[in-house]
């Protein structure tokens, strides 16, 4: 069997497309065996991106039924079967909060410039990686991300107590930290 890549897209015809995809998996398995390789089927998943309920068709690779999952990471971005980004945003905000907490504990006596550089190098990239693909559009998701940067501004200034109106906004301006939303807009318009 000669392996040929499947078309870039096709209209789904319930049975025929499932059968074609299973045949593609068999060809891929044959190709791997020919070249002395083996796919680890326990690390391969099926995820259908659709508004419809997932198909009950079972795919197999190396005589192992592939597990169907509602979400799966790909290149550091957590894709879900409905293409909503809530799970991805939850994941990255959790990582960013943990990293910011680590910095707060370990850099509390460092100069503000050092704390700012640590935030820019270790936390903000977690919040921005791949944002062109998953740019949040719901206010609650945008707010969750901006809250981390606002906490980071307090970390940089080493002032967690002040509650004056506009205090954190002033810190963001003083430390040249535009909102993450403004940065995402700048990426997409560039």
Please give the Cα distance from 78 to 25 (Å, whole number): 24
For residue 10, the model assigns a pLDDT of 46
- Shared-domain flag, residues 150 and 168: yes
CB distance 68 to 123 below 8 Å: no
What whole-number distance in Å separates Cα of residue 152 and Cα of residue 100? 7
Domain count, the chain: 2
Does 4 reside within a domain? no
Mean pLDDT in residue range 6-35:
75
Q: Which residue has the higher pLDDT, 166 or 54?
A: 166
Whether 1 is covered by a domain: the verdict is no
Q: Is the domain of 65 the same as that of 84?
A: no
Residue pLDDT, tens place only, 53-108:
766 788 898 889 989 899 989 899 999 988 889 999 999 999 999 999 999 999 98
Contacts 24+ apart (CB under 8 A), 183-190: 183/128, 184/128, 184/131, 184/132, 184/135, 187/131, 187/132, 188/132, 188/135
Q: Domain range spanning residue 142?
A: 79-189
Please say if the pLDDT value at position 7 is more than 80. Answer: no
- pLDDT digits over 133-161, tens only? 898 889 999 999 999 999 999 999 998 88
88 with 18, same domain: the answer is no
**Domain check: are 40 and 134 in the same one?**
no
Q: Are residues 86 and 20 in the same domain?
A: no
Say whether both 101 and 161 belong to one domain: yes
């Amino acid at each position: 069997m000669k392996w040929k890549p499947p078309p870039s897209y096709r209209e789904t015809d319930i049975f025929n497309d499932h059968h074609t995809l299973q045949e593609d998996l068999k060809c891929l398995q044959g190709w791997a065996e020919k070249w002395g390789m083996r796919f680890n089927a326990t690390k391969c998943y099926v995820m259908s991106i659709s508004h419809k309920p997932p198909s009950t068709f079972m795919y197999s690779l190396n005589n192992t039924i592939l597990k169907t999952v509602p979400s799966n990471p790909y290149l550091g971005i957590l894709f879900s079967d409905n293409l909503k980004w809530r799970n991805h945003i939850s994941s990255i905000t959790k990582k960013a909060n943990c990293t910011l907490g680590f910095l707060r504990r370990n850099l509390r006596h460092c100069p503000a410039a050092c704390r700012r550089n640590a935030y820019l190098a270790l936390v903000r990239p977690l919040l921005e990686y791949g944002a062109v693909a998953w740019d949040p559009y719901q206010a609650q998701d945008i707010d969750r991300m901006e809250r981390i940067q606002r906490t980071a501004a307090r970390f940089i200034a080493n002032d967690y107590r002040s509650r004056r109106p506009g205090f954190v906004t002033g810190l963001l301006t003083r430390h040249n930290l535009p909102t993450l939303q403004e940065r995402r807009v700048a990426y997409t318009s560039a």
